[in-house]
Amino acid sequence: MSPTRDQILHTTASLLEKQGCHATGLNEIIRESSTPKGSLYYYFPGGKEQLVSEAVLQAGRAVADRIHTYLAGETPPSQAIHDFILRIADNMEASGFAAGSPLSAVAMETATTSSRINAACQAAFNTMIAAFEDKLLASGLEAQHASDLAHFITATIEGGVMLSRTMHSTEPLRVVARQLSTALTC
């Protein structure tokens, strides 16, 4: 991937995470990514919908990679997921509560207003859910149970991030980490 294209996608994902899709204009992306205007239209001829969709997909893959990396090894799912959530909380605090979930604002803004971006959000969430599912399957859960718990874990983390970002406090996410860890008996 070209460094310029990658930089545009990275900047877009950060802005989407902080303020959502509609607040993020192409001029702001050009300015913040320090790339020439022509590059944006060259790499993303489909304009904002293409750019946002690709940024969402890339962010989903990056989160799934972090889940796979962090949950690798023999630590039981309940403990590994607890610790993973605390890491999200620390990163969120370090960002001044601007970061935490690259998908949530975009997903809610576009669920019924842009079929292209919605399809990207669906794929990105499914990639994240599958990463948790892999850990649960590896720890011996049967398929339906692993799928159900992976959805529950993803929902709970996304909601915890929402409360913590809104409250400007890691405490809701820490509470969610403890409660989820207790609920997961694996």
Nearer to its own copies among residue 35 and residue 181 (C-beta): 181
23 binds its own copies (CB under 8 A): yes
- 3-state SS, residue 49: helix
* Helix, strand, coil percentages for the chain (3-state, nearest 5): 75, 0, 25
Binding mask 69-98 for its own copies (x = CB under 8 A): ---------------------------xxx
Question: 89 Cβ partners below 8 Å, 6+ apart?
Answer: 164, 170, 173, 174, 177
User: What are the angstrom distances between the C-alpha of 20 and each of 12, 14, 39, 105?
Assistant: 10, 9, 22, 5
d(CA 29, CA 40): 9
Stretch that binds its own copies, among 32-40, 57-65, 68-76, 164-172 (CB under 8 A): 164-172
156 binds its own copies (CB under 8 A): yes
Q: How crowded is residue 29: how many other Cβ atoms within 10 Å of its Cβ?
A: 25
111 binds its own copies (CB under 8 A): yes
Nearer to its own copies among residue 58 and residue 118 (C-beta): 118
**Phi and psi torsions of 25, nearest 5°:** -95, 160
d(CA 41, CA 157): 35
Question: How many alpha carbons lie under 13 Å from residue 95 in its C-beta half-sphere?
Answer: 20
Among 13, 105, 141, 146, binds its own copies (CB under 8 A): 105
28 binds its own copies (CB under 8 A): no
Nearer to its own copies among residue 76 and residue 159 (C-beta): 159
64 binds its own copies (CB under 8 A): no
Nearer to its own copies among residue 53 and residue 118 (C-beta): 118
60 binds its own copies (CB under 8 A): no
Residues lying near its own copies in the complex (CB under 8 A) are found at 18-23, 96-98, 101, 104-105, 107-113, 118, 121-122, 125, 148-149, 151-152, 154-160, 162-163, 165-168, 172, 175-176, 178-180, 182-183
